[in-house]
Chains A and B, each alone.
Chain A
């Protein structure tokens, strides 16, 4: 499903070069729930951003669902992200000026789905994450756990094959964190969705099918 080969990411400024990732090779199969662990600054989020096509590698290749991603033009890249990938961020990144249902509909907007269809599917996914009663609320009116559930609903509304979660419980207390993890496990088991999750939480990582560890930009195992 996801194949990474000889991945290198270097951040360059006028004065310094920072090696974020080097010689990363991995394969993540369809339906896997993989955790990426390591200390802060080891390159976990960088890897997730590269797999999510939010950033471009300095060298190496990333293949998703058999499709090479290097050299993709902006429009193709945007379409690929829209159909194949869903993102859950640590700080939710909901659009504050939109209410819950509009936030959730966002990926379908760029797929030109008619509005009644968008609304129907948004209601379905919001029911699935237990937030059908909060559709008209704005992000500022929700708790952290509820925001993250909205973010998950937004990530899965387009039915992407891969879900990329960057410390999805990092900003939540243990109860809310557990609720979010339950939803992610449900999505993995029931929908056979591939999930790649960056986490600092060893306990949560152990519940996933595989852990890939990083240290100073290098893959350890």
Chain B
């Protein structure tokens, strides 16, 4: 259950990240030597480096993409903010981004509006802050046009949004600023051999109109990268199967091995299977013990006209109904346990702060898809544990069972 919740919170449409199924992630630049076969994603000695991407590359090659509904440049950092109430500087999480960010994520504005394209282009010193930060800095949320000092630069607050919990890592911050207003170290680009200005500190979230568009977006990106690579002789920029879906993004790292993503997915699957098979074996033992007690009844039913198929179905249906009843009791118990221990259970599983767990309600994460997934796994577990004993006992010798041999 915890694995399913963890997967759902990281890959499902949840909270302000309610379009994850349509989102693609372009987060890393992979630099490799030229003229090598890269089709399998294994670089070996050809691999040179993996970095976040530069604003230059994203503006020049990714902003022109036509297929997506929205493209947003994003850089997650931490900043120093002056607290006028306490007269001291505080560290906070910030996101440097553009106007498309507000289209991709469904932030709820308590007051004000987000910065727009013109603000971003004009390097406007505007900022959106979250509710907690507003209270922390000013003791209220009605703070539009208030000045705020971030990294020793003065910004004006243009909007206040509801807090975003840290487990929604794509959108989580306390402060959101136009990326063009960032310091030089935010915006800097790095050359890599003869590829100029490709590595930096940013990445891009892409929102497709429809899931079916994603293939076309990939092709368009590949085409753009070909343009980027055209003049390079020593090294090439390699997308390495990017942009990622939310699931791929969850497992991607900077190692450059695309297979690593699937190795990690396999690992999660194996853990899930082990967690499934162990109770299935245990349950199977319990079912065998119960069937042994009911062997005489099975024999009587067969003597009076039940076929082995009838018996098999009866056992499976009985166990399914029991599973269903058990499942309902389990959900009720889960609800109770979730309410009682959710901080303890979720802070480590979601790598988040305990106070943020309060934003996750039981029905927030146990929605129909999660529930469906859990019910399917339970059904699978029930099948695995019941099928073998049911098959065996539906074929027992009637005479032996009646004589209790």
Q: Taking beta carbons and an 8 Å cutoff, which residues of A are in contact with B?
A: 49, 52, 54-55, 74-75, 77-79, 81-83, 87, 89, 93-95, 97, 106-107, 110-111, 154, 158
Contacts and interface: CB of A to CB of B under 8 A. Distances in A.
Contact of B307 (A74, A87, A95): A74
15 contacts: A55-B398, A74-B308, A75-B309, A77-B307, A78-B302, A78-B305, A82-B305, A83-B305, A89-B402, A106-B300, A107-B304, A107-B305, A110-B305, A110-B306, A158-B304
Interface of B: 296-297, 299-310, 397-399, 402
A110 B309 CA distance: 11
B398 A54 contact: yes
B306 A78 contact: yes
Contacts of A154: 304
- Looking at chain B's contact residues, is the secondary structure mostly helix, strand, loop, or mixed? helix
A154 B399 CA distance: 19
Given A49-B398, A81-B305, 9 more contacts: A74-B309, A78-B305, A81-B304, A83-B305, A93-B299, A106-B304, A107-B305, A110-B306, A158-B304
B307 A75 contact: yes
A154 B300 CA distance: 11
Nearest to B301: A106
A54 B399 contact: yes
B315 to A, nearest CB: 14
A80 to B, nearest CB: 9
A83 B305 CA distance: 8
A54 B396 CA distance: 11
Nearest to A77: B307
B304 A110 contact: yes
Contacts of A95: 297, 300-301
A146 to B, nearest CB: 18
A87 B398 CA distance: 13
Contacts of B304: 81-82, 87, 106-107, 110, 154, 158
Given A49-B399, A93-B402, A54 B303 contact: yes
Nearest to B400: A55
Contact of B310 (A55, A78, A89): A78
